[in-house]
Amino acid sequence: RTGLRTIAYGSGLTTRMRLNDLPMNVDLEPGDLLVTSGLGGTFPAGLPVARVDEIERPSGEAFASATLRPLGRLDRSRHLLVLDPVEPPAPDPVDPVDPVDPDAAADALESQPADSVLAPVDPEPDS
């Protein structure tokens, strides 16, 4: 929603994660979806990671923090397989065709021997 880039940390609980050291005026709301940024190339951009549960802005502190609810079942998963979308192969480039000069084409046909030029085929034979 906002394009904020930060690092999510584990909290020691499989049902909670944290965002630490956020600016006090951070534009986060409960329910916001956090996704991977794609930076670093480890994970593709846009994979859902967690939802924001709560934002803490303690008075007298320099930074805010947020509590997150992971979308994965961290208590039941030991391995994660991330499939990066595969782009279809690009079509082979087509060699550009030189435009045909009608006069040159007509001259080329006229210079051919008459028996090498095919006559038009009558689509319906006479009965």
For residue 46, being part of any structural domain is answered with yes
The DSSP bridge partners found for residue 22 are: 64
User: pLDDT per residue over 44-101, tens digit each?
Assistant: 888 899 999 999 999 999 999 999 999 887 777 777 666 666 677 777 666 555 566 6
For residue 60, being part of any structural domain is answered with yes
For residue 54, being part of any structural domain is answered with yes
For residue 1, being part of any structural domain is answered with no
Measured distance CA(65)–CA(56) in Å, rounded: 5
Q: Could you write out the DSSP letters of every residue in 41-96?
A: SSS-TT-EEEEEEEEE--TT-S-EEEEEEESS-TTT-S----PPPPPPPPPPPPPP
CATH code of residue 20: 2.40.10.350
Q: From the centroid of its chain, how far is CA 102?
A: 46
CA torsion through residues 43, 45, 48, 52, sign: positive
**pLDDT value of residue 20:** 95
For residue 35, being part of any structural domain is answered with yes
CA torsion through residues 31, 36, 39, 40, sign: positive
* pLDDT above 60 (res 31): yes
Average pLDDT over residues 4-16: 88
Q: How many CA atoms lie within 13 A of 69 on its CB side?
A: 8
Q: How many domains does the chain have?
A: 1
59-87 b/e (C-beta count within 10 Å ≥ 16 → b): eeeeebbbbbebeeeeeeeeeeeeeeeee
Average pLDDT over residues 23-43: 90
Average pLDDT over residues 99-125: 60
